[in-house]
Amino acid sequence: MRSSTTAREGVSPLKMSVRVLVKNGEPLEKTLRRLRKICNNEGLTRDLKRSAVYEKPSERRRRKARERQKAIRQALKKGKDKPERVRKEAQT
């Protein structure tokens, strides 16, 4: 009998641990909110949701292409926010 941590073959378990220290006198709700924020920022929640359902290879390619386009758009937008620096040429 083979012991496995996942029910499906080919799916590796996440080897990531997130720790949140409870501050002195901090309510549990606030600590849980900090934990959720950390998980969302790390992309852990998104990865768990994505790995919960089988994703066809064609869907994976389309998703990655969308993510690339989004990254390009954000980079262009970020570049446009900064005003262009114009160098003054030394007058002789």
| Mean pLDDT (the chain, rounded) | 79
* Span 21-65, pLDDT tens digits: 888 998 999 999 999 999 888 888 888 888 888 989 999 999 999
Q: Give the domain range for residue 69.
A: 28-80
Task: Specify if 12 maps to a domain.
Answer: no
> Is there a domain that residue 41 lies in?
yes
Residue with tokens 């606030």: 30
pLDDT class of 19 with cuts at 50, 70, 90 = confident
Residue 90 included in any domain:
no
Pairwise pLDDT comparison (10 vs 73), residue with the higher score: 73
Q: State the Cα–Cα distance between residues 64 and 68, nearest whole angstrom.
A: 6
In a domain, 64, yes or no: yes
pTM of the predicted structure, to 2 decimals: 0.47
45, part of any domain: yes
- Considering the domain boundaries, does residue 69 fall inside one? yes
Domain tally for the chain? 1
Q: How confident is the model at residue 90 (pLDDT cuts 50, 70, 90)?
A: low
Say if 4 falls within a structural domain.
no
In a domain, 23, yes or no: no
Structural tokens at position 6: 């996942």
- The answer to whether 20 touches 35, Cβ cutoff 8 Å, is yes
Instruction: Say what the pLDDT of residue 33 is.
Output: 94
Contact predicate 45/16, CB 8 Å: no
